[in-house]
Amino acid sequence: MKAAYIEYYGQEKLTLGQLPKPKITSAKQVLVKVLKASVNPVDLKIQSGKLRPLLHFSMPLILGNDYVGIVEDIEADVKSVEIGQLVFGRISKKQIGTFCEYLVDEENNLAVVPSTLTLQEAAGLPLVGLIAYQALFEKMKAKSG
């Protein structure tokens, strides 16, 4: 599959090349054909190696944290999405990698895209939405009313 990746930390330009297409390996995973992915400041920090003390990845490393795409395959235990549905998500921070044609993600990291969102909006929402949620409800302890 086509992918944009780094081969070492500090690499200034992404390598555009072919990497193996990922395979589903557990019962709660979904194979997604990526349509769009967003670029976030954290991607640049990972690329530069600034987050190496916190995050440990093997190379080559496909960057990218959020995406929108079409469900291509699911495992038997997946219940919230179906093949052919348009989904968006924030891929697990343990694996990252959305700058590619295909990705495998856990069912609980993705959701069906609401019809009110464009592909661009859906691709840009998951990570910043998660950060906003965490800031409001986990850090600031915001309550309704």
Residue 54's pLDDT is what?
A: 86
Residue 144's pLDDT is what?
A: 84
Residue 24's pLDDT is what?
A: 96
Whole-structure pTM value: 0.90
Domains of the chain: 2-139 (3.90.180.10)
| Integer Cα distance of 48 and 6 in angstroms | 10
Task: Please report, rounded to a whole number, the percentage of residues in the chain having pLDDT higher than 90.
Answer: 88
Q: What is the pLDDT of residues 17-61, one digit of tens each?
A: 999 999 999 999 999 999 999 999 999 999 999 998 888 899 999
46 by Cβ neighbours in 10 Å (0-12 / 13-18 / 19+) ranks as: buried
